Amino acid sequence: MRHLRLLPAAALACAAGCVELDPQAETRQGGLVEPEVFDVIRASNSKAAVEQLRERHARELEHARLLEEHINELIAAEEGLALEHRERLAALQQIKDQLRTLAEEQEATTRAIEAQKQQNAALEQALAAEDAKRAELEQKKATGGG
């Protein structure tokens, strides 16, 4: 209990011995004009921070420039691939057209060969009929029936 009575007295003693920590209080009261140590530290930290930010900004700009170059290279490569793809599709279409033409020519040739075979068969039959008539006529002459 005795300790509790001493507490207000100790608080008053501490309050009387405390110094104001406001760094600009002395300049307002007409004290020191020189900057406080904390102001110097703060200023040097600010300069260092600004320099770090400048360096970081420069690095980011360089990184952005490199990324833009890389993106442009990729776009150019993609355009090149698209052009090559179109050229290959055109070449494939030409090959398909040539194959279709050749298939049509082959089909026409096959039909012509079949027609020629039929015509040859008809001519062979006609020749065989003529040979048969000639043989019959010769036989009639030889037998004297003619």
Per residue in 4-21, pLDDT (tens digit) is: 454 455 454 544 454 444
Q: Is 84 exposed, middle or buried (0-12, 13-18, 19+ CB in 10 A)?
A: exposed
Q: Quick check: 38 and 23 in contact, CB under 8 A?
A: yes
Place of tokens 């003693």: 13
Question: Could you tell me if 52 and 46 are in contact, meaning their C-beta atoms sit under 8 angstroms apart?
Answer: no
Higher per-residue confidence, 48 vs 85: 85
pLDDT of amino acid 79: 97
End-to-end CA distance of the chain: 174
**Six token digits for residue 35:** 């900057």
Between CA 11 and CA 5 the distance in angstroms is: 11
pLDDT for 34 equals: 58
Among 68, 69, 90, 72, residue whose Cα is nearest residue 80: 72
Helices (H), the chain: 2-17, 25-28, 37-143
- Region 121-125: mean pLDDT is 96
Predicted confidence (pLDDT) per residue in 52-71, tens digit: 889 999 999 999 999 999 99
The larger pLDDT score, comparing residue 8 to residue 107, is at 107
**What pLDDT is recorded for position 28?**
52
Q: How far apart are alpha carbons 40 and 1 in whole angstroms?
A: 48
Residue 6 pLDDT: 46
Question: What is the identity of the amino acid at 131?
Answer: D
Percent of the chain with pLDDT over 90: 57
- List the single range of 23-37, 75-89, 125-139 with lowest mean pLDDT: 23-37
Supply the pLDDT for residue 130.
95
pTM of the model: 0.45
